[in-house]
A and B are shown apart, each in its own frame.
Chain A
Amino acid sequence: MMRLALAAAALCLPSVARAAEPDAQAVEFFENKIRPVLVEHCYKCHSEDAAKAGKLKAGLKLDTKAHTLKGGDTGPAVVAGKPADSLLLKSLKYEGELQMPPKGKLPDAVVKDFEKWIAAGAVDPRGGEIAKPVGIDIEKGKKFWSFVPPKEPALPTAPNAHTPIDKFVAAKWAEKGLVPVSAADKLTLARRAAFDLTGLPPAPELVEAYLKDTAPDAFNKVVDQLLASPQYGEKWARHWLDVARYAEDQAHTFGVKPKTQAWRYRDWVIAALNADMPYDRFVKLQLAGDLVSDAPSDPFTRYAGLGFIGLGAEYYKNTAAAQAIAEELDDRVDTVTRGFLGLTVSCARCHDHKFDPIPTKDYYSLAGIYMGTNFSDAPLCAPSELKAFNDAQAALKSAEATMKKVQDGQKAKTGGFVARFAAPHLVRAMTADIAERKKAMPPAPAVAHTVSGNGSGMKVYLRGNPATKGEDAPKGFLQVLPSPAKPGSGFGRFELAEAIASKDNPLTARVIVNRVWAWHFGRGLVNTPSNFGALGDKPSHPELLDWLAVNFVKNGWSLKWLHRQIMNTATYQLESKPNAGNDAIDAANVYLWRGTRKRLQVEDWRDSLLAVSGTLSTQVGGPTFDLRDASATRRTVYAKVSRHELNGLLRLFDFPDANVTADKRTITTVPQQQLFALNSDFMVNQAKAFAARAEKLGANTEERVRAAYRLAFGRAPERAELELATKFLALPTSADDKLTRWQQFAQVLLASNELLYVD
């Protein structure tokens, strides 16, 4: 009965709707049939209240007439009088992609009510104005500290400080009431410098020479020597590889073409750092080595750096390909912007950046540079070598195809009498020929896995959804930063590289000097090395950061210059002991009143164990090895890094997830790490080798213990240590032990804190 009455009321509506003013009946219909439904099923996600609670979906508000007509991201929700054009009705009908409410389709009668309401002119008595959207003020944004170009500040007056860095640091000590601790002793310094620059303990000869050298620049000489060693590049490449989220595979396994020569990018970084390639060049070659005008003559230097993007994430694209491509683009935007610029541009993927002057359009301007680019392999060998390989491959393929044809013919019993009987002989001959060709096949030529092409540009994806496209976002750079090239179709990877690797870019130099600082001191002047935006940390020493950035560029973007500036200071050379007075003011040592005790990164720790036991391989570069091989002796930087399944040792010791760029490593101490030290085959192998090495160096227990201490820690044992060692070595042995007491002792030294932490 009730239903009938209402239907009758609804039938009256068309005539009502034609009136200029909504009459009472139409309003009543809205109030009875439409508004309650909106309130119950829609307002939770589509209203001013939802917006305030941060729960607004698709930019659509249905709680005012104006908003309902204006609609959300995908256009008007209701077109009065046109049910067929009204998205709201379409989604209620559950016909297209949009199906609302998400919890389930409303009863047919309700959907019909909406249809009638819209057909009758969508009478809606509700008021409420649409607030003007608040855009991002780019000019205002440029005033934030990190977007203001660095200027060389005057050096503070600090009578006892002798280098620019020391002067800036000393000025902060004075300001904060901190009293620096003493300088570290020479042995500590030698170890600190060696681990910092090479990731290895110092060679005993280096320590000896340094201890004897009384010249004022004795430490500078140590630094120079370490910077000149190939181990410097191995150590510092690993820092950069964290930022570059370097890995040789993908997190997922379906349909991924393996990149078997990924390691060439790692070798490129090592070579670039060892050669002290200017940082601006280092940036350009990684982003657009194939496009730079003054390209290096050898293909390795030119192309292998492109692995920065070329080895990036590839996602599963069998289904929802557009979404997967969007994720791949995000990997590139995120790695490029956080890595080089310290900006979290990815935050602007779905909406304007909430804190930094980065509109969503800028995100898609950058993403468009990579939209449609390809992953491709660039040959690194001589053209003749490549041709020989390709020809041999083609000949092999053709031979295989011919044989298949013959075999198929045999199976199908076609080809006539002679062919059928001749075939077996033919197949035998061809099989031999194919085997011969395979045997004679030249090795696969060296290639670099690169990115190529220049991107097609794209439209803004509203709320990050590839299905809902908004305005054009011409390819270009972030509006808040200067760019030598204008946005548009001509803006590609080369223009991007130029905009980043520019002395006019206020971020690029600041970000890298801060990273290098953080890798030396364990914390950056900006303690969020990949976020120089509003939510990042403010610099502890802003003038020092600017002094470094400006002079870094002046000195040819030289990283080795930067290391010297940092290390040849009183600040770097402070001891790492606590001090109650300073602790009360600055326990975290933000103001650098003491040195920082650091746990070795897992690579350095493993490499040190190999070095101490005398088994470390000095081979530089080349294909990766598997860390699960407990007898492997190459440096850890050469171990396979997997996104799919990170090696257990690496994972256990806080190696970053290579699916994303990493600005610093977390440091955790968990028992599973200690199980490795206590029980792993690798550790036992090193203990045996170390024991054998030290054993030869002494005629009696004391001499051997002394030798072991010298090898492991570069120092003589103290009396208490000698006593403990002697006592342990004299313990009765058990027949069930597979290690001698001396080997057990060697393992203890290798597992000690002294070998894991550097003062």
Chain B
Amino acid sequence: MLPNVGLSRRDLLNRTGTGLGAIGLAALLAERTSAAPKPGANPLAPKVAHFTPKAKHVIHLFMNGGPSQVDTFDPKPELTKNHGKQAGALGKSTERKTGPLYKSPFAFKKCGKSGIEVSEIFPEVGSCIDDICVIRSMHTNIPNHEPGLLLMTCGNTQAIRPSMGSWLTYGLGTENQNLPGFVVLCPGKPVVGPALWSNSFLPGVFQGCHIQNLDPKKVIEHIRNQNVTATTQREQLDLLNQLNGLHKDKRGGDDQLDARIQSLEIAYRMQTEAQEAFDVTREPVKVRDAYGKGYFADACLAARRLVERGVRMVQVFYGSGQPWDDHGDIEKGHRNKAKDSDKAVAALLRDLKAKGLLEETLVLWGGEFGRTPTSEGANGRDHNNHGFSVWLAGGGVKGGMTYGATDEFGFAAAEKKVHIHDLHATILHLMGLDHEKLTYRYSGRDFRLTDVHGTVVKDILA
């Protein structure tokens, strides 16, 4: 069928990509020396980490818009006590003018063996708390969505750096060559859009593959041939392979020509494999019921199917725009979104655990910043970059713990502060990468996800 197929699976993995700058590391070397980079090497082939990784995959559940810490994972009895008082009277302030202190409309409940308090709007996630590490002392630079989202995804407040998923696939490759290594699931687009999963100056193969529609027939562009039957397409491809074989032989062989021949073959297989991977309807009814209904639930389930098949990073945006941005009615807004996602998130954790995947999959939940403990309008909350919560689960992180704290009202991180750069450093560490060594030489200098910042939060490592 295929002419000149004398390649092992390993060769195939290594040769299905090709080219000069394609290999980030080689591009780096090429700028330092005149040694020729090896053509035909696959930039997405799995690579050896800097040290033994705890996690192999990342699932980032991005609650874009910015969930409120004091209504979710950071209970504040003092806030309740001081409800209605002006922030200024307590020596506190917010970036923009806001109303008085506003207690959470939700009750907090002690959950799990660890007894960590979680808001009543997350009963299911609360029941998984013993697998979760809540970081309550997050802080970021700017209380606006665009720079906030960019800093969380790319480590810079401007759209000038590669995203974390791009760095991860650059550093580690991916385990399944028939699927993209970095998948972004979002119906529509979050605010900012594609810059959030940009490869920037890294080679284009490391860009996130944005999938809006989870219909398996539409997941990846051009995944389906709508003109000929599978049998006919196979015949077409056989002819193409034979003609390409004759072409190559006449030229005395060439790695780049080989690479394309192999790549065509993989594309052919990808058509069926990718459609299968994204097809959540293949899951048992019981499993689908556990996740619940809707895009986010399906995306969570798809995320599990993808990491199961070796995808390096899956980023699930809760929705298009900035859905968690409840300036208006925090109670109604947060309750609805929690109701819509609580079951799916918990199901994802349980499902990963049941399949033995949680150990090697790091799950990150959180937004781009937090919200003010004071009110905006009658019952909303404004943006707050000084303090917020995210949580991690699986992938080498201690479960059933909280780390750091905000002040007594939840205005700002006060103890064991964790900046986004620190979070990034920690995630890379769990993936077996030293954030100071994962570099890319570009424009004359070595760039990092964490720029010149970042400290691994060692206390939360299992």
Contact = CB atoms under 8 A, between A and B. Distances in A.
Interface of A: 102-105, 251-254, 313, 315-316, 318-320, 323-324, 327, 334, 338, 344, 346-347, 355, 527-528, 530-531, 533, 535-538, 540, 576-578, 587-588, 590, 597, 599, 643-646, 648, 651-652, 654-655, 657, 659-660, 664-680, 684, 718, 720-721, 724-725, 728, 731, 734, 736-739, 744-745, 747-749, 751-754, 756-757, 759
Contacts of B309: none
B36 A590 contact: yes
B232 A659 contact: no
A673 B263 contact: yes
A660 B195 CA distance: 13
B229 A734 contact: yes
Given A535-B32, A675-B271, A668 B443 contact: no
Given A527-B34, A655-B204, A678-B233, A251 B195 contact: yes
A463 to B, nearest CB: 9
B18 A667 contact: yes
Interface stretch (B240-248, B299-307, B310-318): B240-248
Interface string B146-188: 1100000000011110000000000000000110100000000
A757 B253 CA distance: 13
B268 interface: yes
Contacts of A667: 18-22, 256
B409 to A, nearest CB: 16
A323 B150 CA distance: 15
A671 B232 contact: no
Contacts of B30: 527-528, 537
Contacts of A659: 159-160, 200
B416 interface: yes
B328 to A, nearest CB: 20
A657 B200 contact: yes
A146 to B, nearest CB: 13
A645 B194 contact: yes
Interface of B: 16-22, 27, 30-36, 43-44, 137, 141-144, 146-147, 157-160, 177-178, 180, 192-195, 198-201, 203-205, 207, 209, 220-229, 231-233, 235-237, 239-240, 242-244, 246-248, 251-254, 256-257, 259-261, 263-264, 266-268, 270-271, 413-417, 419, 441, 443-445
Contacts of B260: 669, 674, 753, 756
Nearest to A251: B159
Contact of B193 (A599, A644, A679): A644
Given A657-B198, A759-B251, A678 B443 contact: no
A295 to B, nearest CB: 33
Given A577-B252, A673-B263, A678-B268, A660 B443 contact: yes
A316 B146 contact: yes
Given A576-B251, A751-B264, 15 more contacts: A334-B443, A344-B444, A344-B445, A535-B441, A537-B31, A537-B33, A664-B21, A670-B205, A675-B222, A678-B268, A737-B228, A744-B236, A745-B239, A749-B243, A753-B257
A749 B192 CA distance: 40
B221 A675 contact: yes
Contacts of B261: 753
Contact of B417 (A103, A334, A731): A103
21 contacts: A104-B137, A105-B414, A254-B146, A316-B147, A320-B142, A324-B158, A338-B443, A346-B445, A531-B443, A588-B36, A597-B251, A645-B194, A655-B204, A667-B256, A668-B43, A672-B267, A673-B263, A674-B264, A724-B239, A734-B231, A737-B228
A526 to B, nearest CB: 9
> Main secondary structure on chain A at its contact with chain B?
loop
A693 B419 CA distance: 62
A578 B253 contact: yes
Given A253-B192, A666-B19, A668-B203, A679 B223 contact: yes
A442 B221 CA distance: 41
A724 B223 CA distance: 27
A535 B31 CA distance: 7
Nearest to B18: A669
Tell which of B160, B220, B235, B253 has the most Cβ of chain A within 10 Å: B160
Contacts of B222: 672, 675-676, 678-680
A576 B250 CA distance: 11
Given A657-B201, A666-B27, A757-B257, A748 B236 contact: yes
A537 B34 CA distance: 6
Contact of A669 (B19, B157, B248): B19
Given A316-B147, A536-B31, A748-B243, A736 B18 contact: no
Contact of A679 (B147, B203, B205, B226): B226
A610 B16 CA distance: 27
Contact of B444 (A531, A645, A655, A665): A531
A172 B178 CA distance: 44
A313 B200 CA distance: 14
Contacts of A720: 246
Contacts of B194: 644-646
Given A590-B36, A680-B222, A252 B16 contact: no
Contact of A737 (B19, B27, B227, B257): B227
Q: Which 9 A-B pairs rank lowest in CB-CB distance, beginning with the nearest?
A: A344-B444, A588-B36, A666-B21, A667-B19, A674-B267, A251-B159, A671-B267, A675-B222, A679-B222
Contact of A104 (B252, B256, B415): B415
A601 B221 CA distance: 20
Nearest to A729: B239
A354 to B, nearest CB: 8
Given A667-B20, A756-B260, A651 B207 contact: yes
A668 B37 CA distance: 13
Given A654-B203, A672-B221, A674-B264, A752 B244 contact: yes
A675 B220 contact: yes
Contacts of A753: 244, 247-248, 257, 260-261
A721 B243 contact: yes
Contacts of A731: 235
A334 B180 CA distance: 32
Nearest to A577: B252
A301 B137 CA distance: 57
Given A666-B203, A679-B224, A752-B244, A737 B147 contact: no
Contacts of A718: 246
Given A528-B31, A752-B244, A252 B195 contact: yes
Residue among A347, A645, A655 facing the most chain B CB atoms (10 A cut-off): A645
Contact of B192 (A252, A344, A533, A684): A252
Contacts of B233: 678
Nearest to A665: B21
B19 A319 contact: no
Contacts of B226: 679, 738
A334 B442 CA distance: 12
B160 A531 contact: no
Nearest to A753: B244
B444 A670 contact: no
A334 to B, nearest CB: 6
Contacts of A537: 30-31, 33-34
Nearest to B139: A102
A105 B270 CA distance: 54
B238 to A, nearest CB: 8
Contacts of A671: 16, 177-178, 263-264, 266-267, 270
A655 B204 CA distance: 8
Nearest to B404: A104
Given A253-B192, A657-B198, A679-B226, A668 B204 contact: yes
Contacts of A104: 137, 413-417
Nearest to B246: A720
A728 B34 contact: no
Nearest to B248: A753
A345 to B, nearest CB: 9
A102 B420 CA distance: 13
Contacts of B252: 577-578
